[in-house]
Amino acid sequence: MDEIARLAEVSKPTVSRALSDSPLVNPATKQHVLAVAKAHGYAVNRNAQNLRNKRTNTIAVSLDFLSHKKNHISDPFIFDLLAGVSEALGELNQDLLLCAPIHNDTDAFQQILSSKVADGFIVLGQGHREQMLGDFARGGAPLVVWGAGTDETPYCVIGSDNFAGGQLAGKYFLEKGRSRFLFAGDTTYREISLRRAGLQQAADDSERSISIHDLAASQFSFESAFDLANNYLQTIDEPPDAIFAFSDTAAMAFIRAFRDHGISVPEDVSVVGYNDIPSAAYFSPPITTIRQDPYQAGRLLVSNLVNMLEGIAPVSAKIKTELIVRET
């Protein structure tokens, strides 16, 4: 900046002010400085700037799904979530620091904040970390989470309206005259357990006698859901006539497994997935599913966190869910 000041024949503070569009500098001078800076390809050193300003304009995004392990979610819907976050941040001139799973514990999070690498956190997928995230938030960390919470959750949560999603699936099954439901999903995740509760609610609201069987899908991949379905089919006498799966991927796996066992979809069993990933519409049979809008959710995460950093209280929100009826 000294160099630019010399070339523009002004002082360093004037260059600084010109570049940050301060009203304290004469418009003519400003133009001149900007031209000189551009001509010499000068860009403000962000480290010095951040050091002085005590602000980084960087948001850390924890993507727990990003893992090589079998257990990773590869649902494209995560992509849309990340796309929403990324684009919204870009528009606000905020940088996005992507945190590997390896760094996803309290100490690592705290470290990022105290070493002034990022100003706040967006956590995509709270998983089983509600306790740790709660502690972190109560400790004053700017934090916004994609997931599901309760009235007591001490941080801002944006998530699908899982309960409503569960109800939609339940009502759909009831319309189809189904009565032996299978819920496939790991209810130790709050998101999933809310869907289960919604399904239950729909069943309870009907005057009919409905059974709900639970099958804990502990992993997220196609493979594991397929294995789970096959193992399940070995153990039962009478198959369910409706399946609500925690994801479209899992729904596909279940459909494949059931068909392999001579159980036809949708004649013998109705199936509802979750997320409405693109291939759900092109699977055979095309899958009935619950759609949400992850891109908008991503944007909402950003606006809430940015508000929080400016001292405006963020507001948790549930994203609308919609039943997309296809052939299953």
Partner DNA sequence: AAATGCATTTCAATCGATTTTTGAAATGCA
Partner DNA sequence: TGCATTTCAAAAATCGATTGAAATGCATTT
Select the residue interacting with DNA from 35, 39, 48, 216 (CB under 7 A): 48
Q: Does the footprint of DNA cover residue 111 (CB under 7 A)?
A: no
- Which member of 154, 180, 187, 222 binds a second copy (CB under 8 A)? 222
Q: Which of residues 276-305 bind a second copy (CB under 8 A)?
A: 277-279, 281-284, 295
For residues 159 and 319, the answer to whether their CB atoms sit within 8 Å is yes
Is the Cα dihedral 296, 278, 292, 143 positive or negative?
A: negative
- Under the binding rule (CB under 7 A), the answer on residue 26 touching DNA is yes
Pairing of strands 95-99, 58-63: parallel
Asked if 29 touches DNA (CB under 7 A), the answer is yes
Examine residue 216 and tell whether it contacts DNA (CB under 7 A): no
Q: In 10 A of CB 273, how many CB atoms?
A: 30
Residue with Cβ nearer DNA (55 or 213): 55
Site mask for DNA (CB under 7 A), range 4-23, x = bound: ------xxxxx-xx-xx---
Measured in Å, how far apart are the chain's first and last C-alpha atoms?
A: 64
Instruction: State in angstroms the smallest separation of the CB of 206 from a second copy.
Output: 33
68 phi/psi in degrees, rounded to 5: -75, -20
Phi, psi of 247 (to 5 degrees): -155, 160
- Give the separation between CA 247 and CA 187, rounded to whole angstroms: 13
249 binds, among DNA, a second copy, none (CB under 5 to 8 A by kind): a second copy
Q: What is the CB-side half-sphere exposure of residue 279 using CA atoms within 13 A?
A: 12
Question: What is the CB neighbour count within 10 angstroms for residue 49?
Answer: 15
Under a CB-based contact definition with an 8 Å cutoff, are residues 182 and 215 in contact?
Answer: yes
Q: CA torsion sign, 227 to 215 to 183 to 181?
A: positive
Least distance to a second copy from the beta carbon of 151, Å?
Answer: 30
The verdict on 230 binding a second copy (CB under 8 A) reads no
User: Segment 18-77, which members bind a second copy (CB under 8 A)?
Assistant: 41-48, 50-51, 56, 58, 61, 65-68, 72, 74, 76
Size of the chain, expressed as the number of residues it contains:
328
**53 or 264: CB nearest DNA:** 53
Find the helix packing angle between 294-309 and 76-91, rounded to 10°.
40
95 Cβ partners below 8 Å, 6+ apart?
Answer: 56, 57, 58, 59, 89
Q: Choose the stretch contacting a second copy; rule: CB under 8 A; options: 101-109, 173-181, 201-209, 235-243.
A: 101-109
83 lies in the binding site for a second copy (CB under 8 A): yes
Q: If binding is defined by CB under 7 A, does position 1 make contact with DNA?
A: yes
| Interacting residue ranges for DNA, rule: CB under 7 A | 1-2, 10-14, 16-17, 19-20, 24-27, 29, 43-45, 48-49, 51-54
| Interacting residue ranges for a second copy, rule: CB under 8 A | 41-48, 50-51, 56, 58, 61, 65-68, 72, 74, 76, 78-80, 82-84, 86-87, 89-91, 95-103, 110-111, 114-117, 221-223, 226, 249, 252-253, 256, 259, 277-279, 281-284, 295
